Structure 1
Amino acid sequence: MALSVYMDEYHSSQQVCPDDVLLSWASEHEKRKGEAFQNLNKLANSNIKVNRNYSITHDGRSQAGSPRQKVKKTGSKRISMAPRSDISCTRLGGICQPHRYVCQGRYLKDKCSGAKMRQCCMPVGAWSVFCNGHHNNRVRACDVHGCGAFNSKRGNGLHKAVDLVCDDYGIVNAPFSGTLAGPVSQKDPAGNHYDGVKLLSDVHCVKIFNIRPYRYIGPVARGEAMGYLLPLQERFSGITSHLELQMCDGTDPSPFI
């Protein structure tokens, strides 16, 4: 009897109400669903944060990097910008044309617009007459003391200038407009000194010897009197009186005279 009562109590304690089981399962399901929803929210917020950070960082780097963009190097040579017009050439009396064409005078670079092959052709006689009373710039011919052409033989060297025939004490005029840039002097192998003046412009630079300038500094206009020719007959009997014209860079001035 006692054993039967005990077994009945045991079985009653092990029985579970179906409603309680359903309630427990539903509660557990809702709990897991809530945890999954929270995880999804966290993941979504994380992605949004990452995207925002990337956007900010990307924009910041783009803005900071745009002024510092590297320019591709085209080489070690400098690229010179050509003039926008031909006025630099025409005001000197030249003509802009492709340098493959024949130029009776001399080509000057960087004076013409357009392609680099277009250069300024300076005609012969581009400068005005130096010596007053003469119709042209006549190069000194050979005499007992030598010849006046460029690269003519002078002792053991060559004459890197041109001698233009002038009269003793004759007025010497400026061949182009420019600026007088001070006195110049030179000495020949025999020890003779020759004085003169430097004349320069935006294009040309010349040294004129055997003259006595009226002044050594200041602007001068084309055709304006600069000074007078110093006599050479006193020191060199039989020589042709002349001034000596020398380009500052040692090139031949013949195309301009």
Structure 2
Amino acid sequence: MRQFIVLLALFYVCEGVTFGQLCNGNPDNEMRTSDIWGYGHYGARREDGTHTGVDIVCEDGSVVYAPFDVTLVRGLIIYLNKPERDPVNNGLMMRGEGLCVKLFYIEPDKTTGTVLKGERIGKMMRMQSVWPGMTSHVHVQLCDKSDPTSYF
């Protein structure tokens, strides 16, 4: 019964959450559609399975903002043993509004502490240096790998 109440409380907290502007130059959080590398929606096919996040368009070098009031948990290294992806190998894990969120392809300004919605948390890494022709984007993934689309 206690687990049910905790789950219900998490659902209630998350129900009304909407991400604020994630990237400078994209006030509506436009999602990556298709390009020569594929699609950016949740569940899109990938070589190694399916896409477990959504891709929000962001120009290389653009400022990235906190999508809501968050506690920064830690920095992320996305790819292990793939030095060719070093230019885009960073990310950030954060918690807030009952959600745990990972953002990929950003160089965080810091990796711990609290940040208010709309404050700068880092900058977009140079995606074009690794995947020329792909629409540059921040990959947004919930820690439990469920679909984050409804939060945009």
Name the structure 2 match of 1:207. 102
Q: 1:151 aligns with which of 43, 54, 67?
A: 43
Larger radius of gyration: 1
Name the structure 1 match of 2:9. 110
Matched letter for residue 163 of structure 1: D
Cα distance per residue 1:107-156 (max 9 Å; x no partner): x83269xxxxxx56835x71101011222111101111111100100114
Name the structure 2 match of 1:131. 23
Name the structure 1 match of 2:85. 192
- TM-score normalised according to structure 1 size: 0.52
**Alpha-carbon distance in structure 2 between the residues aligned to 1:138 and 1:188:** 29
**Alpha-carbon distance in structure 2 between the residues aligned to 1:153 and 1:183:** 27
Name the structure 1 match of 2:151. 256
Q: 2:139 aligns with which of 199, 224, 244?
A: 244
Structural RMSD (CA): 2.6
Q: 1:120 to 1:235 in 2, by over 3 A?
A: closer
Aligned-residue sequence identity (percent) comes to 32
Q: 1:78 to 1:226 in 2, by over 3 A?
A: closer
**Alpha-carbon distance in structure 2 between the residues aligned to 1:245 and 1:135:** 16
- Structure-to-structure mapping, 1:43-192, within 5 angstroms: 77-78=1-2, 109-110=8-9, 122=15, 126-187=18-79, 192=85
Cα distance per residue 1:31-61 (max 9 Å; x no partner): xxxxxxxxxxxxxxxxxxxxxxxxxxxxxxx
Structure 1 stretches lacking a partner, 5+ long: 1-76, 83-107, 113-118
Matched letter for residue 154 of structure 1: R
Name the structure 2 match of 1:62. none
Cα distance per residue 1:175-231 (max 9 Å; x no partner): 010111111122289773521111112501111110111111111001000011011
Matched letter for residue 41 of structure 2: A
Bigger strand fraction: 2
Question: How far did 1:169 drift?
Answer: 0.5
- Quick check: 1:199–1:207 contact (8 Å CA) kept in 2? yes
**Alpha-carbon distance in structure 2 between the residues aligned to 1:199 and 1:172:** 13
Name the structure 1 match of 2:114. 219
Q: How many pairs does the alignment contain?
A: 149
Q: 1:197 to 1:142 in 2, by over 3 A?
A: same
Partner SS state of residue 245, structure 1: strand
Bigger helix fraction: 1
Partner SS state of residue 192, structure 1: helix
- Quick check: 2:10–2:98 contact (8 Å CA) kept in 1? no
Q: 1:233 aligns with which of 125, 128, 133?
A: 128
**Alpha-carbon distance in structure 1 between the residues aligned to 2:137 and 2:125:** 9
